[in-house]
Structure 1
Amino acid sequence: MKLPVDPPLRSTDQPRVRIRGIYATALSKFFLDREYQIVQSSDLMKERLPLEEKPLSPQIDIKTLYGKQGVKISCLSSHSEKTRSLFTNEFEDVIINQKEIEKGAVYKAIIHRPSPKGGYIARLTPQYEAWLPPRTIQTGNINTGDITILEVKELDSEIGIPRVSRDINYPGDFAVLLAKPNEVKVSNKLSQEEQERLSGLGEILLPDEWGILWRTAAKNVGIEELKREIDRLTEKAAEFTASIEEAPSLTKLRNGFQSMEVFFPGMSKRKLDSTRRKVVPTVKNHHQFKSLGMKYALLVDFTEDQLSTTLDPSKASDMLNEFLFSRCRREGKELPIYHKKLKGREVILGPATVIESKTKENDWEYRTFRRFETGGIYDGIEARQESGDIGVTFVEIGSEKLVTLYFDMREDLKGIYVNINSPIELYKNGVGYYDLEVDVVLTNEGEVKILDRKNLERLCNEGIISKSLVTWIEDKTQESRRWLEQNASEVVEEARRVIELAK
């Protein structure tokens, strides 16, 4: 047997994908058009799309991220590269952060040293370490230097590295063979009645020295098929155990499920809107508004329910956009600006107060004012930050740049900072964007400069952004440089007007 092996799920001609959350309709259509098989769909999705239900578990599992700005994908490692390429090829500004270690992967590891949190730090490969907690170890039966087989159970443990266990499980399509004898568990996604039925079957079908976890797909098959599944997994477990005895230490023995977070900035959301529109009536900015929270999501749902009956789609979209943007007027209030880095870190800029907000070509625009109380350095514009300095920021929904002007307490200009970003969007409590690592500045000496360009190639090589996004960023950078060279005096005049309004 060639190592590493894949988990013992059944293979099919079409990759199997399960999709949940606010992007489900658009992404189901997206994958269906590319000949993927959609499994375990909701009843609503079966009404919307021509789906042929197959009683198998997904090889690719997609759920909406907390915050609703994208999706979390867990997929068999054999499908990860193609899945990643689908998104980077089709969505220009998509951002992908992928974990280096796979959940469910199995390693022939070496116990490296005791952990300050208890248990041990194990070395999985020459590059990667993981934490073996004390609760998974029987007293006195493991020591530093021991070679042992470990499965990755959690990618982010409380000590910042993956958590592993010596309990090796075997996932199939209808069941998971558990390294816990006589234990029967059932997916909590099933009804109470179905859970009770499968619990009873589990007691009957329990193999020696193993436990069973029934998966969601088990509800769709009969007892004979479930028995064959348990027999197959038991056989696969025996084959795997025999095949790894001679394997060298510090190697991967079984692939796991690759975890990636896929973020959809403004352009990607608009493309998803367009894809969804091919399936059901969809208003402009559907996915942006659905990410704002339940009350806005319900309003979007209500409006779209009327589109096929009484409302003109274009007029309804304009009315909804106008209403939702009007609810976000914030004069006199602080405006949190969520400055998201491409590797996941988030910085909230401010606090700055909204001095003026207005519509602009069906989008919204803010002018904010901030007075600085502490010193420091304005990176890039080559000027000191001093107590009493003023910052004026122009925030335009849909814009690919965030413009901030810095003045001293006498209102003399210190410099202008243009942040190149994904299109600015409304967020639940403010506005946000993804910082695209390049900035254009007007320095204190009056020179227009471009900063940070060297990071783009590295981020592209790491697979976080696509080559097409790099090209887009470079184009927007040059466009912003020309804009700043031609409009600096006009922008300064507008900022001084905002300062007067703030007095």
Structure 2
Amino acid sequence: MTTARVRGIYTTAITHLLEEHGVEVVQASEPIRERFDGEFAVDPADVTVETTRDRQGVGISGTHEGVDEVAAVLESLAIDTFRWDADTPRSAVFDATVDETLGGGAVVDLGDRGRGYLSYDDANGYVDDGDSYRVQVTDPTPPWDDDRPRVEPTLEIRSGLLVLSRSRSGVSVAASGERASELVGMTDLLPIDLPEGWGLRWQRAALEADLDAMGTALERAVERAEELEDELPAEETDTPTELAIPEATTWLWFGRESRTALDEARREVETTMPGHHRTKAATRAASAAVDFVEAVCDPSGEFPFGAVSGQFGPTSGDRLSIDHGKPDGRLLTLGTGDVTEWDPDGKVTLERRMRGGGSYDALGVSKEDGDVAVTKFREGRWWYPTTYRGSEGSTKGTYVNICTPVELFPDSARYVDLYVDVIRLPDGTVEVVDEDELEAAVADGLVSDELAEKARSVASAVERALSK
């Protein structure tokens, strides 16, 4: 049975879903142990599921088979769940060369897998362009994040209970106190020797592990370390080269309907307000408020956009960016504007001042200084219109973007673009455009048949409405 360690704002829902599909959750946090009936083992994890830093989804890292099993469960959550396999997964090893030196670190070339970021604090000595290092990916990044995956000139094996590292020596514990001292002593009782040149650091989760679990974790880590060393060539090269991919990493982006599905899963375990995950994904500041609401009452009904937006944003006068996700994992920002109108029912109007140069996509109308783009968003809607107006007030056309359900977070409107769009030209002509791009995305496996059909249906409905 695959074992998984789960952390972050989606933990309760994911724990429930994984257990329903035969994946054993281990190393559970105290709140999770309190919410679920039964025991959670403190065993090594084949897979780690962690909420991304921006709370928009999760990263799944671990054994190739385990990652595929866990991702298969979660990617079927809802129509707007997207999955991308990482080019630079956690623990991947490369011979890399320095491409560019920055203020706090260097950009390194990883060959066909892209680029990574090497902090100067992790490198020994001065780092200069053209220097070569053997590095391992320690912190992969999702495709919609501008950051590069972090790499370090070391080799490590992680299991949640321990870190076995070439950068350490001896045995230590990531904690203090009597139990931590006992853990170091108990290590001597295990019938496993550390590989030469490797050090062991027990993680806090190991404080609750028994001797059998510790022995299993260390045995697996030592085996993986020895396999990795056997796989790596003895001599480093000065050519960017992929050396080993011992683990897989997969990223899942959760859209609004995905978060609603996660709410439903969590509700089977614990009191859950409508929009629980939608609210927590919006801002860390909301987490305590959500927990309080769920602790003192039994909330029901629809997602309370007015209350959440009124407390945390966006509201009139705020600045809001348009975060335009793409089905291939990229995230583009279409611009930032002022919220000029706000409605507690979930409506927001955004105005942006445009700069001259070029023309508006598909409309074929010139961009001019002083133009204003008026965009009307509604939480949960599969489309949004932008009307372009000249400085004198004339309408230059309307562009309706077809997308996954819009989420209006405090500082951004977020969705994933579905390629097909609807335009209304200044003379009133209405057209559906970019259908070929949607077809290509389906052929490339970036958009499911179900999602593509939904996009076409929405586009047809918008076309009919604009033609009246």
TM-score range, shorter chain: 0.7 to 0.9
- SS across alignment from 1:41: coil
Contact 1:18 1:61 in 2 (8 A): yes
Match of 2:461 in 1: 479
TM-score (norm. length: structure 1): 0.74
Match of 2:343 in 1: 358
Quickly say closer, same or farther: Cα 1:63–1:426, change in 2 above 3 A: same
Structure 2: gaps (5+ residues): none
Match of 1:501 in 2: none
- Compute the displacement of 1:381 (Å): 0.8
Q: Aligned ranges for residues 43-122 of structure 1 at < 5 Å?
A: 43-106=30-93, 115=99, 117=101
Match of 1:499 in 2: none
Contact 1:91 1:268 in 2 (8 A): yes
Match of 1:198 in 2: 183
> Per-residue displacement from partner, 1:94-142 (whole Å, max 9, x unpaired)?
12333212221346x6x7x675549999987777677889998999xxx
- SS across alignment from 2:75: helix
Contact 1:440 1:481 in 2 (8 A): yes
Match of 1:497 in 2: none
Match of 2:208 in 1: 220
- Compute the displacement of 1:38 (Å): 0.9
Q: Which amino acid aligns with 1:261?
A: W
Contact 2:99 2:109 in 1 (8 A): no
- Compute the displacement of 1:42 (Å): 1.7
Which deviates the most, 444-453 or 328-337?
A: 328-337
> Per-residue displacement from partner, 1:430-451 (whole Å, max 9, x unpaired)?
5433333332111234332223
Which deviates the most, 18-27 or 328-337?
A: 328-337
Is 1:19 aligned to 2:13, yes or no? Answer: no
- Compute the displacement of 1:92 (Å): 0.9
- How far apart, CA to CA, are the structure 1 residues paired with 2:367 and 2:390? 8
Match of 1:280 in 2: 270
Quickly say closer, same or farther: Cα 1:484–1:82, change in 2 above 3 A: farther
> Per-residue displacement from partner, 1:241-267 (whole Å, max 9, x unpaired)?
557779xx9997754332333221111
TM-score (norm. length: structure 2): 0.79
Quickly say closer, same or farther: Cα 1:332–1:307, change in 2 above 3 A: closer
Match of 2:384 in 1: 402
- SS across alignment from 1:444: coil
Aligned length: 451
Q: Residue 338 of structure 1: which of 302, 322, 327 is its match?
A: 322
Quickly say closer, same or farther: Cα 1:422–1:131, change in 2 above 3 A: closer
Which deviates the most, 218-227 or 264-273?
A: 218-227
- Compute the displacement of 1:226 (Å): 4.2
Quickly say closer, same or farther: Cα 1:480–1:55, change in 2 above 3 A: same
Structure of higher CA gyration radius = 1
Match of 2:198 in 1: 210
Q: Which amino acid aligns with 1:299?
A: A
- Compute the displacement of 1:173 (Å): 6.9
Match of 2:23 in 1: 36
Q: Which amino acid aligns with 1:389?
A: D
Q: Aligned ranges for residues 436-455 of structure 1 at < 5 Å?
A: 436-455=418-437
Structure 1: gaps (5+ residues): 1-13, 487-503
- SS across alignment from 1:31: helix
Contact 2:321 2:412 in 1 (8 A): yes
Q: Which amino acid aligns with 2:247?
A: F
Which deviates the most, 170-179 or 260-269?
A: 170-179
Q: Aligned ranges for residues 382-401 of structure 1 at < 5 Å?
A: 382-401=364-383
Q: Which amino acid aligns with 1:260?
A: T
- How far apart, CA to CA, are the structure 1 residues paired with 2:205 and 2:295? 31
Contact 1:96 1:465 in 2 (8 A): no
Contact 1:39 1:58 in 2 (8 A): yes
Match of 2:255 in 1: 265
Which deviates the most, 441-450 or 328-337?
A: 328-337
- SS across alignment from 2:67: helix
- How far apart, CA to CA, are the structure 1 residues paired with 2:314 and 2:223? 64
Identity level (%): 23
Q: Which amino acid aligns with 2:182?
A: R
Contact 1:333 1:353 in 2 (8 A): yes
Contact 2:163 2:203 in 1 (8 A): yes
Q: Residue 303 of structure 1: which of 293, 296, 314 is its match?
A: 293
CA RMSD of aligned residues (A): 4.1
Quickly say closer, same or farther: Cα 1:474–1:182, change in 2 above 3 A: same
Q: Aligned ranges for residues 116-195 of structure 1 at < 5 Å?
A: 117=101, 151-155=136-140, 163=151, 165=153, 167-171=154-158, 174-180=161-167, 182-187=169-174, 190=175, 192-195=177-180
- How far apart, CA to CA, are the structure 2 residues paired with 1:404 and 1:175? 52
> Per-residue displacement from partner, 1:8-42 (whole Å, max 9, x unpaired)?
xxxxxx21112222211111111111111111112
Which deviates the most, 249-258 or 213-222?
A: 249-258
Is 1:323 aligned to 2:307, yes or no? Answer: yes
Quickly say closer, same or farther: Cα 1:51–1:437, change in 2 above 3 A: farther
- How far apart, CA to CA, are the structure 2 residues paired with 1:332 and 1:254? 52
- How far apart, CA to CA, are the structure 2 residues paired with 1:130 and 1:329? 34
- SS across alignment from 2:61: strand
Quickly say closer, same or farther: Cα 1:483–1:81, change in 2 above 3 A: farther
- How far apart, CA to CA, are the structure 2 residues paired with 1:159 and 1:349? 19
Contact 1:367 1:395 in 2 (8 A): yes
- SS across alignment from 1:281: coil
> Per-residue displacement from partner, 1:404-448 (whole Å, max 9, x unpaired)?
112223333211110112222231235433333332111234332
